[in-house]
Structure 1
Amino acid sequence: MDSRLTIRDFLRVFDLVSSNGTKQQSKYQLDGLSAWHDFDGYTCWLGYKDVTVTLMFHGSLKIEYDKPSSYNELVERCLALTASEPMS
Structure 2
Amino acid sequence: MKNELDSKFLLQVFDKIRQHGSKEGDEYKLMGITAFTDHDGYTLYIEDVNVKLRFGFHNQYHFDYDSSDHYDSFEKKLKQIDKTY
Q: Which TM-score tier does this pair reach, normalised by the shorter chain?
A: 0.7 to 0.9
| Cα deviation code 1:1-22 (max 9, x no counterpart) | 343x312111111111111111
Say how many residue pairs are matched. Answer: 84
Is 1:16–2:16 an aligned residue pair? yes
Please give the alpha-carbon distance, in whole angstroms, between the structure 2 residues aligned to 1:10 and 1:55: 8
TM-score by length of 2: 0.88
Regions of 4+ moved over 3 Å: none
Name the residue aligned to 1:68.
68
TM-score by length of 1: 0.85
Structure 2: unaligned runs, 5 residues or longer: none
Query: How many Å apart are 1:68 and its aligned residue?
Result: 1.8
| Cα deviation code 1:39-79 (max 9, x no counterpart) | 11100100011211111021111111112212111111111
Structure 1: unaligned runs, 5 residues or longer: none
Q: Which has the higher helix share?
A: 2
Please give the alpha-carbon distance, in whole angstroms, between the structure 2 residues aligned to 1:2 and 1:14: 17
